């Protein structure tokens, strides 16, 4: 079959941000499926809540302070996260480095707080179905927190090496995007874990 | 952002004809040798492996079916012990659903979708390689366990409490649960790749209403996978946690609930049926258009039906649970929604019939299989409407009527189109035509074999024969129909032997295929058979829904992509306007290493919870190796 060239795309950029970029769509697809995972886990919690006459089963509700402290840190972390985003869009390598380090430290702090939260759940995973589902949900979110922290640290290190090329800024914005997901996913879980047992 | 322009790299507009083809081939080729094979990220190579592996599992699952049919051919046969029979039917169902039906559909998508949308590789090619390895390792894990007498024996849906530690103290249920995790990871990865490939890598001009129907079908399927599979992941994880670290999800004495399992399983399990069926409808639409010699009638109706089916498939799961004692409102609601889903499926069937009616059908093997599909699937659909009604379902639940129903739906609805698809795309994938003569034998043996094997099961079910019994006594009067069914199964198996023989024969002696042997209309036929590593020397520009029929002589194309490194064109979501020339990853060994680390993690964790601790660092290391830039041109742009 004969081919005729009708257009030249040579002037197009080699990377982009947000809707334009492929990895962004990959990230949002993963968020969709992981968000569904959270939704199913919440469904499991509410199902068990509905079929059991007492709730929580054989335990007092989790202590409020670790979850509440986390929620505050999570919400505040959106601010430096947005600064990271802005620096990446401006392709300002120095600022991106600084903000990635800050975000890594925030992630570590949250992981430590998360340790306290597990310790103050006031139930074990093998106590009752209540304990099981609480540990499952918190574990699921902790996996996301730890994964994003790992990703942030690796990106931060990468931006200090010779590999810190322009297209990496797009990766940084995807990481920012994913962190927002980790934060937003936490909010309903906080209400579910810390407040529903007090209803 | 302007760095690329400044570098003055060589672009494809500086080269023409053979020069361009050779140069691109050098860039996109998978390295030779064993190491090259393990590093491949070419969607065609991985797609081919995926297809062959899935068919290997079909053969294994089919052999188990033959064993069961021999056992049931007469009353009180003793070929298989009751314990082995339990393993055999569980392995058969699990293999067919998780290792054949879903993967084979995704495999065809991995091979075909990038070609059909006119791009050079799938989105996230390394994830694609990883997905294949996970699928392969998960499948081998299941079958090796079976060989060591630890094959699961709790049915393909592993209901609690049977699958809980108390009633299955061996590792058999753990093997089942972890095999699920493997295959779901693989399926989810492919789903994400398909979504991004379809959203972002379509050839310029391929607007939403010009997307080939198979691609639409795979897009809808990918979304079903995305939203259905997390449910089974939560289910299998919680089951394994119950068994391994004494969580109480399914333990009624501690507030757990066994019906929760059924909800989680079927919230995945019902969309699963459509994850298998919807791709097959896409295949049907493609084959029909080519052999009816006209575009499928009602393109918008078919696309909307696919999407509607996708949505509705999430509202049916409770119809698998009618006998668990539902509130009447629930039973009514799910009966209604189960009947409702017949509407979009019916709409598609009418569109296909209209296409045949208005076309000039050429009755080649692919079309025969599509016609067989229509007949068998309609029968399966009708018995589906029957069991959607609670009183009938209560009567035939767990009988052979249900076995007959779902084999009509799944084999009729998915395997027949699939075999048609094999005949249709074999020339594109292998460069040679399958034998038409053997193809006709294949079809008629399959059609009669299938119906003789499965139609009598409707009657056996109505006579009261339950599923999953390893034998029955002569006084039940089930032996004649069972014998007939077994004879049909043998004929049906023979049809697959013919297919295999045809494939082996035609690979060597088949008639060489040109680019477009069927005179079809979509882009995968605009390149060589088999396609070169770069798929297309120049990316086509689409101006019509059936580009190769709109102008059979001239293909409009774009120029300006790199002739020095792997580059794909990203386009906008709705209008497919060119946006970015994006680097595409080079071959890499890291996806395989990551899959090995993940396998150690998954298998280790059914023996000790500490595997989660010591299994994580290797996974993290391999993932970092995967994503760390290598300093190649692709990474440094």
In chain B, residues with a C-beta closer than 8 Å to the C-beta of A56 are none
Q: Do the strands B567-571 and B578-583 form a parallel or antiparallel pair, or are they unpaired?
A: antiparallel
Q: How far is CA A124 from CA A118, A136, B613, in A?
A: 9, 11, 19
Mean pLDDT of B274-301: 96
Q: Identify the pLDDT of residue B5.
A: 45
Phi and psi for B366 in degrees, rounded to 5? -55, -40
Residue A94: which pLDDT band, with cuts at 50, 70 and 90? very high
Residue B635: which pLDDT band, with cuts at 50, 70 and 90? low
A window 127-146, beta carbon within 8 A of B: 127-133, 135-136
Residues with Cβ within 8 Å of B166's Cβ and at least 6 positions away in sequence, in order, are none
pTM of the model: 0.96
Q: Which residue has the tokens 């409490």?
A: B161
Complete DSSP assignment for B395-428: HHTTBHHHHHHHHIIIIIIIIHHHHHHHHHHHHH
- On the CB side of B101, CA atoms within 13 Å amount to 29
Burial grade of B594 (CB within 10 A; 0-12, 13-18, 19 or more): buried
Nearest by CB: B248 against A21, A126, A167: A126
Residue B561 CA to residue B545 CA, distance in Å, equals 24
Asked whether the beta carbons of residue B248 and residue A44 sit closer than 8 angstroms, the reply is no
Two tokens, residue B312: 């509705």
Q: Identify the pLDDT of residue B506.
A: 97
Is there a contact between B356 and B373 (Cβ–Cβ < 8 Å)? no
Residue B162 has pLDDT above 70, yes or no: yes
Q: Identify the pLDDT of residue B633.
A: 59
Torsion of CA A167, A172, A174, A179, to 10 degrees: 170
Asked whether the beta carbons of residue A4 and residue B556 sit closer than 8 angstroms, the reply is yes
pLDDT tens, position by position, A130-157: 999 999 999 999 999 999 999 999 999 9
Burial grade of B84 (CB within 10 A; 0-12, 13-18, 19 or more): middle
Nearest by CB: A129 against B195, B256, B559: B256
**Range of weakest confidence among B230-234, B293-297, B332-336, B553-557:** B332-336
Q: Is A167 on the interface with B (CB under 8 A)?
A: yes
In chain A, residues with a C-beta closer than 8 Å to the C-beta of B578 are 7, 9, 12
Asked whether the beta carbons of residue A5 and residue B559 sit closer than 8 angstroms, the reply is yes
Is there a contact between A52 and B255 (Cβ–Cβ < 8 Å)? yes
Asked whether the beta carbons of residue B628 and residue A14 sit closer than 8 angstroms, the reply is no
Q: Is A102 on the interface with B (CB under 8 A)?
A: no
Asked whether the beta carbons of residue A5 and residue B628 sit closer than 8 angstroms, the reply is no
Residue B178 CA to residue B144 CA, distance in Å, equals 13
Residue B202 CA to residue B306 CA, distance in Å, equals 20
In chain A, residues with a C-beta closer than 8 Å to the C-beta of B255 are 48, 52, 57, 128-130
Average confidence score pLDDT of chain B: 94
In chain A, residues with a C-beta closer than 8 Å to the C-beta of B246 are 125-126
- Cis bond before residue B312 (omega within 30° of 0): no
Complete DSSP assignment for B316-379: -GGGGGGGGT--HHHHHHHHHHHHHTHHHHHHHHHHHHHHHHHS-----HHHHHHHHHHHHHHH
pLDDT tens, position by position, A45-87: 999 999 999 999 999 999 999 999 999 999 999 999 999 999 9
Nearest by CB: B257 against A14, A20, A51: A51
Gap between the terminal Cα atoms of chain A = 71
Q: Which residues pair with B559 in a beta bridge?
A: A8
Q: Is A50 on the interface with B (CB under 8 A)?
A: no
pLDDT tens, position by position, B9-54: 888 888 888 999 999 999 999 999 999 999 999 999 999 999 999 9
Q: Is A160 on the interface with B (CB under 8 A)?
A: no
Please, what's the largest Cα pairwise distance for chain B?
A: 86
A-B contacts at Cβ under 8 angstroms: 214
Complete DSSP assignment for B307-332: HHHHHHGGG-GGGGGGGGT--HHHHH
Q: What is the rounded radius of gyration, in angstroms, for the C-alpha atoms of chain A?
A: 21
Residue B146 has pLDDT above 70, yes or no: yes
Burial grade of B75 (CB within 10 A; 0-12, 13-18, 19 or more): middle
pLDDT tens, position by position, B342-393: 899 999 999 999 999 999 999 999 999 999 999 999 999 899 889 988 889 9
Average confidence score pLDDT of chain A: 95
Question: Which residue out of A13, A27, A91, A139 would a mutagenesis test of the B interface target, given it has the greatest number of B Cβ atoms within 10 Å?
Answer: A13
Q: Identify the pLDDT of residue B157.
A: 93
**Helix ranges restricted to H, B541-589:** 547-550
Check if the interface score ipTM surpasses 0.85. Answer: yes
């Amino acid at each position: 079959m004969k081919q005729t060239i009708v257009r030249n795309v040579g002037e197009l950029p080699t990377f982009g941000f947000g809707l334009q970029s492929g990895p962004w769509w990959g990230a949002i697809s993963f968020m969709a499926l992981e968000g569904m995972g959270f939704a199913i886990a919440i469904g499991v919690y509410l199902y068990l809540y509905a079929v059991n006459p007492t709730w929580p089963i054989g335990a007092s509700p989790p202590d409020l302070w670790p979850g509440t402290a986390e929620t505050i840190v999570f919400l505040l972390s959106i601010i430096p996260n947005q600064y990271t985003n802005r620096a990446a869009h401006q392709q300002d390598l120095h600022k991106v480095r600084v903000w990635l380090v800050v975000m890594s430290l925030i992630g570590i702090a949250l992981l430590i707080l998360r340790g306290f939260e597990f310790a103050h759940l006031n139930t074990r995973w093998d106590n009752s179905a209540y304990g099981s589902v609480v540990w499952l949900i918190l574990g699921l979110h902790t996996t996301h927190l730890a994964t994003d922290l790992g990703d942030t640290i690796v990106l931060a290190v990468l931006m200090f090496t010779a590999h810190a090329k322009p297209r990496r800024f797009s990766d940084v914005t995807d990481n920012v995007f994913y962190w927002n997901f980790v934060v937003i996913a936490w909010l309903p879980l906080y209400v579910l874990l810390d407040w529903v047992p007090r209803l | 952002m302007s760095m690329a322009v400044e570098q003055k790299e060589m672009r494809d507009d500086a080269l023409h004809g053979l020069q361009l083809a050779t140069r691109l081939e050098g860039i996109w080729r998978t390295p030779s040798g064993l190491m090259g094979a393990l590093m491949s990220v070419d969607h065609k190579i991985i797609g081919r492996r995926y297809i062959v592996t899935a068919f290997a599992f079909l053969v294994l699952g089919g052999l188990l079916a033959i064993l069961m049919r021999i056992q049931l051919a007469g009353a009180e046969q003793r070929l298989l012990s009751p314990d082995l029979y339990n393993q055999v039917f569980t392995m058969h169902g699990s293999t067919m659903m998780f290792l054949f039906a879903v993967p084979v559909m995704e495999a065809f998508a991995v091979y075909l979708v990038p070609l059909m949308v006119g791009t050079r590789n799938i989105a996230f090619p390394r994830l694609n390689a990883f997905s294949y390895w996970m699928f392969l390792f998960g499948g081998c894990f299941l079958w090796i366990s079976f060989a060591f007498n630890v094959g699961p024996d709790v049915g393909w849906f592993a209901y609690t409490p049977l699958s809980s530690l108390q009633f299955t103290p061996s590792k058999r249920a753990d093997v089942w649960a972890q095999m699920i995790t493997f295959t779901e990871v693989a399926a989810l990865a492919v789903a994400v790749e398909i979504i991004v490939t379809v959203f972002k890598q379509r050839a310029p001009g391929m607007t939403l209403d010009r997307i080939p129907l198979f691609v639409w079908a795979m897009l809808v399927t990918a979304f079903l996978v995305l939203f259905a599979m997390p449910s089974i992941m939560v289910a299998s994880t919680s089951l394994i946690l119950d068994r391994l670290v004494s969580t109480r999800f399914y333990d009624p004495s501690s507030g757990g609930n066994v019906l929760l399992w059924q909800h989680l399983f079927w919230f995945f399990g019902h969309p699963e049926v459509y994850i298998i069926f919807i791709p097959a409808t896409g295949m049907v639409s493609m084959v029909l258009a080519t052999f009816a010699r006209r575009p499928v009638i009602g393109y918008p109706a078919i696309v909307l039906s696919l999407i509607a089916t996708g949505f509705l498939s999430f509202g049916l799961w409770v119809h698998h649970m009618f006998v668990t004692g539902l509130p009447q409102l629930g039973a009514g609601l799910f009966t209604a929604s189960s009947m409702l889903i017949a509407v979009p499926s019916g709409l598609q069937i009418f569109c296909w019939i209209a296409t045949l009616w208005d076309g000039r059908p050429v009755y080649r093997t692919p079309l025969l299989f599509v016609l067989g599909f229509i007949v068998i699937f309609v029968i399966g659909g009708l018995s589906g409407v029957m069991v959607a009604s609670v009183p009938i379902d209560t009567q035939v639940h767990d009988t052979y009527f249900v076995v007959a129903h779902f084999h009509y739906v799944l084999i009729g609805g998915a395997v027949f189109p699939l075999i048609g698809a094999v005949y249709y795309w074999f020339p594109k994938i292998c460069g040679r035509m399958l034998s038409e003569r053997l193809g006709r034998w294949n079809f008629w043996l399959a059609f009669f074999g299938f119906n003789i094997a499965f139609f009598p099961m409707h009657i056996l079910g109505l006579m009261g024969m339950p599923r999953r019994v390893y034998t029955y006594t002569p006084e039940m009067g089930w032996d004649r129909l069972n014998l007939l069914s077994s004879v049909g199964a043998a004929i049906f198996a023979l049809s697959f032997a013919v297919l295999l023989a045809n494939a082996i024969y035609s690979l060597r002696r088949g008639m060489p295929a040109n680019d477009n042997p069927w005179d079809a209309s979509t882009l995968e036929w605009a390149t060589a058979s088999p396609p070169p590593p770069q798929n297309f020397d120049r990316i086509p520009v689409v101006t019509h829904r059936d580009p190769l029929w709109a102008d059979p002589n001239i293909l409009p194309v774009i120029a300006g992509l790199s002739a020095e490194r792997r580059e794909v064109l990203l386009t906008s979501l709705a209008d497919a306007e060119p946006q970015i020339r994006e680097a595409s990853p080079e071959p890499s060994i890291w996806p395989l290493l990551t899959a090995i680390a993940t396998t150690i993690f998954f298998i280790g964790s059914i023996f000790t919870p500490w595997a989660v601790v010591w299994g994580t660092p290797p996974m993290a290391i391999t993932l970092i190796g995967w994503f760390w830039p290598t300093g190649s041109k692709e990474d440094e742009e």
